Amino acid sequence: MEQKIRQYTIEQLIRPLNDVEAKNAPKQVYVAGKISIPITAPRVAIIGSRKATPQGLETARIIAHFLTQNNVIIVSGLAEGIDTVAHTAAIDAKGQTIAVLGTPLNKVYPKTNTKLQETIMHEQLAVSQFQNGHPILPGNFVQRNKTMALISDASVIIEAGSTSGTIHQGWEAIRLGRPLFIWNKLVQNSALTWPKKMIQYGARELFDPKDILDELPSQLHSILEVLQ
């Protein structure tokens, strides 16, 4: 997986951070790919279960395709299930996608996404806060989810159980004051309590992906923030 790896601060990657954003931000990230730095286009994370239902996978595909058609960069974590579909849908729609990894850039997890990671590292953008040689630990993926919330202008949870790492990203998005959307089928699942609790803290039940666009900064606004 030969590809030039560059090192940036989060502020160099997106824009200056406020005190709340800087609290959980990694000191540096390692990136590979062709998307220009700083990233000025609006970014939405589409995230969810590794073992998603067919309905959840199709929902992720539809939302990722719609947002890509509206010049939004799709962010996800390169995991199985929802993440894989989100990245693939963006690529298939001739758009842009960012993979935020829970491993160093020279490792692949899961192995089944080796080809997808190679494509993203060469044609899109892969981001990791873990230097080559860093061990792969379960806690890496929690840190990754918090970094993904920081990089994204908004996050969308499609499907997730009560123990899913996706929940960490949801709470981090709320802490950051970033828009968090939860797909309505998930909110209506009576077996889960966390979606309704997140809504009490400001998350929004999502019925139509068009609602996401209303919460995103324009590209011009993003460019002005970077130049400040």
Answer yes or no: is 227 within a domain: no
Instruction: Write down the pLDDT at residue 224.
Output: 43
Answer yes or no: is 113 within a domain: yes
For the whole prediction, is pTM greater than 0.85?
A: yes
Mean pLDDT for each consecutive 10-residue tract of the chain (228 residues)?
84 97 96 97 97 97 98 97 98 98 95 97 98 91 97 97 93 98 96 97 97 82 46
Report the C-alpha gap between 96 and 72 in whole angstroms: 8
Answer yes or no: is 15 within a domain: yes
Answer yes or no: is 223 within a domain: no
Report which residue type is found at 44. V
Kindly give the pairing relationship between strand 125-128 and strand 29-33: antiparallel
Task: Copy the structure tokens of residue 139.
Answer: 């806690």
Instruction: Write down the pLDDT at residue 221.
Output: 46
Instruction: Write down the pLDDT at residue 2.
Output: 55
Q: What is the DSSP letter of 218?
A: P
Instruction: Write down the pLDDT at residue 38.
Output: 97
* Domains: count for the chain: 1
What contacts 103, CB < 8 A, 6 or more positions away? 109, 128, 130, 134, 136, 140
Tally of CA atoms within 13 A in the half-sphere of 178 that contains its CB: 28
Answer yes or no: is 159 within a domain: yes
Residue pair 161/183 in contact (Cβ under 8 Å)? The answer is no
CATH of the domain at 55: 3.40.50.450
Report which residue type is found at 167. I
Answer yes or no: is 199 within a domain: yes
Answer yes or no: is 67 within a domain: yes
Kindly give the pairing relationship between strand 97-101 and strand 73-76: parallel
Host domain of residue 193: 6-215
Answer yes or no: is 228 within a domain: no
